Structure 1
């Protein structure tokens, strides 16, 4: 999908441990990444980002002067930096501790230790976010596709929209939750709905059920982007009529494949 290569990337690595910095740098070099800047904490990272903007920030969870949560919040609150790709490397597995990163649109959350396959997929996801390649469809012109993106996280919506824009899809409307989405569905025509699972008022499951029960738009393909790891919940979502489910954070290449399948399915 991408025309860039790993050797084109400029990466900022934020890691307080010298041993971990050395290990991650070696693994990045094995993926053909050559431009790697290193800092040990939050303040150094912010100073370096403002001096030379990287293509990707790879960060540990904790530093002596703060945490990746605080660093990511500061990045996302800066209009010039808010879409900077961010990758977390952490041994943390508790869902509630990782949820804020997923909702902030990180490109990947890598376990510590991670494999070369984990890193390769995350690097490719970053390249896809930075690249442009129009989606080739048999039944649609990508520029004519009308998409409703539903997510209560503004940053998560921005990431999804960036992926869609890179694929040549620009006719996009946003909804902040399922209730807002239902209002927009009544007022506008769409070819696809992309929705989060966890939302206030009307969640993704309830939105799907109401779409499928509608006489006006029950035909719409629905893609769910979810950080929900509960198999029972995902089973309910599938049974409700979702056409495709992808994880949060998602891989743009997978989203491209799912979109092509959904939009070209004329059955």
Structure 2
């Protein structure tokens, strides 16, 4: 089923190197993908997308006229392009360089060179996001779920909202940081909290500790969605009482499994 969905994807490669473009094309064709277009610059890619939107953009980090971060931020700010999936193909490993692009909502970050298995996983994630299945909950139950999304990045909040909306969740409230989330939680009840780790005012760990120790909703499931790579910090978050941690970029399968598990545990305890 996944293989059949993959081969029908339309993919735009944005890569200034002819050699890298050919490598990506060859790897895609090995997975039976045939609808492939190529561009060398960000401006050319944007023009191509506006003319014929692809299902997925596979871009290098550094383009002649902009970075991949600038490209995806432009896409996310354009109503006609904001829902197009984005994949970064790059040798870049610096957290400071990669974090902004993770925040914008991407399906994968592939190293150069990447393996066929890594590419296939990214493409499967794209197809599942496009046709997002229900997380084994009834439609009414999904519509009744009240979710609080806490992240200082507007792009990240927008991406998480898109994923949750695709699952059928409609009651979504947003907060820009932990302090704002605390104020909202003092006045409204929620079924789930999605929070980032690194935020100003109050980060995800402090928010989690506040909810578990001082909130009237101490048992609410808390999912940490973060690009944080420091193992010691993540261990501290787990000790603070998060219900689950998933990386940025995350896939819909991860979110679905977490929601299924958390809702099952809630029903067991109720």
- The number of aligned residues is 266
Where in structure 1 do 4 or more consecutive aligned residues deviate above 6 Å?
1-4
Note if 1:112 corresponds to 2:95. Answer: no
Compute the RMSD of aligned alpha carbons: 1.9
Quick one: distance in 1 between partners of 2:255 and 2:205? Answer: 20
- Contact kept, 8 Å, 1:25 with 1:36, in 2: the verdict is yes
Tell me if the contact between 2:60 and 2:89 (Cα under 8 Å) persists in the aligned partners.
yes
Shift of 1:67: 2.2
For residues 30-52 of structure 1, give each alpha carbon's deviation from its aligned partner in whole angstroms, at most 9, with x where no partner exists. Answer: 22322111111112111101111
2:235 alignment counterpart: 235
| Per-residue CA distance 1:178-222 (angstroms, 9 max, x = gap) | 111111111111111010101110110010000001251001010
Give how far 1:2 is off.
Answer: 7.9
Query: In the alignment, what sits opposite 1:149?
Result: 149
Check conservation: 1:2, 1:132, Cα contact below 8 A: no
Higher relative contact order (CA 8 A, sep 6+): 1
CA distance in structure 2 between the aligned counterparts of 1:215 and 1:194, rounded to whole angstroms: 16
> Counterpart of 2:11?
11
Deviates more, 1:217-226 or 1:35-44: 35-44
Structure 1 length normalisation: TM-score?
0.94
CA contact (8 A) 1:2 1:133 kept: no
Note the alpha carbon deviations across 1:151-197, whole angstroms, 9 max, x for none.
11111112111111222211111111111111111111111101010
Q: Which residue of 1 aligns with 2:68?
A: 68
Deviation, structure 1 residue 82: 2.4
How far does the alpha carbon of each residue in 1:75-129 deviate from its partner, in whole angstroms, 9 at most, with x for none? Answer: 2232322232111100011111111101111221111111112111211221122
Quick check: 1:4–1:131 contact (8 Å CA) kept in 2?
A: no
Match of 1:244 in 2: 244
Aligned partners of 1:58 and 1:27: how far apart in 2? 12
The correspondence of residues 14-33 of structure 1 with structure 2, limited to 5 A, is 14-33=14-33
